[in-house]
Structure 1
Amino acid sequence: MNNSLFAASAADLTIERIRALAARPDQVESLTLEFKREYSKSLVTTIAAMANTYGGMILVGISDKAEPGTERVAGVDAQETIDKIASGCREKFDPPWEPTFIPVPFADGTGRSVVVVRVDANVAPRPLLIELKAPIRLSGQNSTADRDRLLQLAREEPAARVLPMGQNVMSPNLERDQEGKCTADFILRTGFNVLMGEAGAWRPMSERTVAALARALNNSAFPAALHTLGHQSFSSSTSFQQHGYNRSRTARLVYRALSDSPVPHPVEAVVTVVLPEVYGTSTAALATVTIDVISRIRRYADAFDKVGVPGEEYRYPVPNLLDLLEGILKTTVDPKVVAEIARITDIDPALVAQPRELHLVADRQVKELLRTEILQEIPEAGASAGGVFRANPALDLHDIADRQEQVDDWLRQLGLDAGLTGMEALVESYRASTRPRR
């Protein structure tokens, strides 16, 4: 699930964040999220259904519909509500089990709270039965598992359950020519794993859905971010389109900057969606989505002196990398991009995860790759030619401020790992210069 509140620590769960979630017009009940105005008997069934499916979160104290002129976040008595839910779980569940309860109090002194109920499918004893039946979660509602689904739940191994929030992607490698020399300045990779729906586990990709994903990528923030990285090193580009290895269960969409220099593609981006093979696939089969950005701006500048300061070795401006990272993250949560990935894998869009990892592999030390500006080298700090950057699971990348905070954290780590100081001040200065004036 992609909701950041599920992964946030108790200290990070504030009533302001919950109000912001409830106020979002695109935030509706789904496979992994439900709102409850107050305790009801059906709430216990929803807990079991989420436990038997993908897990999820129930926010008690919030109306499921926003009525005009009424406050959607009304709150409840936290202790009374938790006691009722816990009692219902003990009485109805076979075997007995409780989810995690986190009361989030209002800041107005009323004593009311929103109770966050977290249902972790990796922890719950599946199948979780109520009156010898196993509730399951469909899109925004509960149902009952049929015989086949019940047998599947009973037979599954712990490893076959829903992946936790922290998913990783394979580290990339720089391409090399016949002499073994790198052909790019750096490659940046992020991505995520996607659970497979029943139809997605066997059907081939549709040409229409792949074309729709390409259109969504072309209309996203990604192309503009790639052009910014190019620092006006190219005047034209190809849009995202199928190129290279494409098969019935693999889609490879490529964007390329075009130039008339010995470096024909100063910037290249590749989005790859790979569905697991039909034969030998387990019930826990996962699709993978990887996003690669390959940059050759430095090589382009050497071959065709139109970038940076003439006569000086080109180095990447930190703001260009910042805009690139923001563009990538914004694209991964773009509703149209997410919808097409969900369509390909036959799942609810709410189950398309956010990236939790970023890889950077450079052909030289990072401190030799960046424009110094106010950056200063730490004596005897050692070398770094990239790194692995983890994401904060408590941040919601749909939110602009959270997305910026994640990018700023990555850049600070990049600077420190490269043995440089001043990155924090440089990022803050850039943020201040781009902040809208009031």
Structure 2
Amino acid sequence: MTTSLFAASAADLTIERIRALAARPDQVESLTLEFKREYSKSLVTTIAAMANTYGGMILVGITDKAEPGTDRVVGVDAQDTIDRIASGCREKFDPPWEPAFIPVPFDDGSGLSVLAIRVDANTAPRPLLIDLKAPIRLSGQNSTADRGRLLRLAREEPTEGVLPMDQGLMSPQLSVDNEGTATEDFVLRTGINLPMGDAAAWRPLSERSVNALAQGLNGSALPGALRNLGHGTFDQSTGFRPLGHNRARTARLVWQGVGRRIVAHPIEAIVTVTLPQIYGPGPAAPVANITFDVVSRICRYAESMGNMSWQHRYRLPTLADLCDGLLKTLVDARVVEEIARIADIDTALVAQPRELHLIADRPVIELLPSDGLEQIPGAGTSMGGTFRANPALDLRIATERQEQIDDWLCQLGLDAGLSGMEALVERYRATTKPPA
């Protein structure tokens, strides 16, 4: 789904952002996105189809095909288009219902707009019928629900079948030794939940699909960010490969930096794919879960060296690079494609990560360098936290991904009872190249 535009407030839904979306060469019509040059009778059917499937967005005033040298964004008379669509919804839908309309005006004084139509499947009455039939959405086109699909729609609870905007990931846990002492500096977790296609609900995870995901991860931005985080504590790494608990419906891919001392793996990354165990008829909307955990033991590695003068701290550029590597990997086209293949869904339904969890073995202030940071008297401290993403940001776009990471770093400092993080972030960005 075009998550950023779907979740953006009306004020944030600008013609610049819509033009940028239309100009993307990889942005095509999908299960959750449709372009319309102007009003047509089929537009009402598309609204019903999205409502009966996963929801989505229709942008009226954009041609569905890009031609070299031409602007796809042509615009429409917003009020006239809204009136015609609303009239069609009243006449055709059983029960009556209409989506949300957001006119996005041009900035050239022409009076034209792109009309954004948001179809929220969580609020639509399902099944939404037209002429006693329930349209459904396939990849970039509409179809009609068969008897089985229609019965499932009729049995749904109001919010079944569609994932909420928040991801609801479980917070990670630190590993402990036999004496109950944590063995890790911190664990950083992000990930996504996603719906499952019919085939994924019953078939086991194949070795081929798991290995293809591992290859996608090894070619992503994450290994480079992990080596940077390692800060020279290892000179070899394993690459992502199956390790540990792998079963018919669980895959665990692990990347490890290989050290030479007591701390054998100063850095690890663990990607876990979990498909729900389904026995009997199962839930109407089974949900798969994918988590990305980064486990760091650099402070412990430094302590194992026996040199108390080296007290490792995680510097801001390293943390920013790690967060960027994680987010960039989760929106990487190849990784998304392999995740979608495992879940048997369209790539448009692979959501962008919207949560980041950090849990540390010590107060965060002891993990960060003191340069430029000051403890706020009486502010207390923290040993991690949960960081929410701005759903209006498209994490595929480097500048918007950077904006999200900077917000998280500032929150990390504030939660730790520190002042000065915002100034540190600003200085760091002023001395680095703009993101590509």
| Partner Cα separation in structure 2 for residue 35 and residue 177 of structure 1 | 56
Identify which of 333, 341, 344 aligns with 2:342.
Answer: 344
Q: How does 1:27-38 map to 2 (within 5 A)?
A: 27-38=27-38
* Secondary structure of residue in 2 paired with 1:290: strand
| Partner Cα separation in structure 2 for residue 227 and residue 389 of structure 1 | 24
Q: Does 1:251 align with 2:254?
A: no
Write out per-residue CA displacement over residues 316-343 of structure 1, whole angstroms, 9 at most, x where no aligned residue. Answer: 1111111000000000000000000000
305 and 85 in structure 1: CA distance in 2 versus 1, 3 angstrom threshold: farther
1:304 matched residue in structure 2: 305
* Secondary structure of residue in 2 paired with 1:269: strand
What amino acid does structure 1 have at the position aligned with 2:296?
S
| Partner Cα separation in structure 2 for residue 3 and residue 367 of structure 1 | 34
Displacement over 4 Å in runs of 4+: none
User: How many residues were matched structurally?
Assistant: 434
Q: How does 1:292-331 map to 2 (within 5 A)?
A: 292-304=293-305, 311-331=309-329
2:76 matched residue in structure 1: 76
What amino acid does structure 2 have at the position aligned with 1:212?
A
* Secondary structure of residue in 2 paired with 1:254: strand
2:412 matched residue in structure 1: 414
Q: How many Å apart are 1:304 and its aligned residue?
A: 2.4
Report the TM-score when normalising by structure 2.
0.98
2:333 matched residue in structure 1: 335
| Partner Cα separation in structure 2 for residue 418 and residue 392 of structure 1 | 21
Identify the range of structure 1 (66-75 vs 33-42) with the bigger mean alpha-carbon deviation: 66-75
| Partner Cα separation in structure 1 for residue 313 and residue 215 of structure 2 | 32
2:370 matched residue in structure 1: 372
158 and 436 in structure 1: CA distance in 2 versus 1, 3 angstrom threshold: closer
| Partner Cα separation in structure 2 for residue 71 and residue 356 of structure 1 | 32
2:358 matched residue in structure 1: 360
| Partner Cα separation in structure 1 for residue 223 and residue 59 of structure 2 | 37
159 and 105 in structure 1: CA distance in 2 versus 1, 3 angstrom threshold: closer
Q: How many Å apart are 1:374 and its aligned residue?
A: 0.8
Write out per-residue CA displacement over residues 261-303 of structure 1, whole angstroms, 9 at most, x where no aligned residue. Answer: 1101000000000001121531211000001011000000111
| Partner Cα separation in structure 1 for residue 14 and residue 202 of structure 2 | 42
**2:3–2:391 CA contact under 8 A, matched in 1:** no
| Partner Cα separation in structure 1 for residue 25 and residue 69 of structure 2 | 16
Q: How many Å apart are 1:418 and its aligned residue?
A: 0.2
**2:49–2:135 CA contact under 8 A, matched in 1:** yes
Q: Does 1:3 align with 2:3?
A: yes
2:285 matched residue in structure 1: 284
Identify which of 385, 401, 418 aligns with 1:387.
Answer: 385
What amino acid does structure 1 have at the position aligned with 2:286?
A
2:136 matched residue in structure 1: 136
1:212 matched residue in structure 2: 212
* Secondary structure of residue in 2 paired with 1:45: helix
* Secondary structure of residue in 2 paired with 1:137: strand
**1:161–1:284 CA contact under 8 A, matched in 2:** yes
What amino acid does structure 2 have at the position aligned with 1:373?
D
| Partner Cα separation in structure 2 for residue 151 and residue 303 of structure 1 | 62
Write out per-residue CA displacement over residues 382-425 of structure 1, whole angstroms, 9 at most, x where no aligned residue. Answer: 02000000010000001001100000000000000001111111
Write out per-residue CA displacement over residues 54-73 of structure 1, whole angstroms, 9 at most, x where no aligned residue. Answer: 00000000000012222100
**2:125–2:158 CA contact under 8 A, matched in 1:** no
What amino acid does structure 2 have at the position aligned with 1:138?
L
What amino acid does structure 2 have at the position aligned with 1:62?
I
What amino acid does structure 2 have at the position aligned with 1:115?
L
| Partner Cα separation in structure 2 for residue 21 and residue 3 of structure 1 | 12
Report the TM-score when normalising by structure 1.
0.97
| Partner Cα separation in structure 1 for residue 353 and residue 40 of structure 2 | 35
| Partner Cα separation in structure 1 for residue 357 and residue 250 of structure 2 | 22
Query: Where do 5+ consecutive residues of structure 2 fail to align?
Result: none
What amino acid does structure 2 have at the position aligned with 1:25?
P
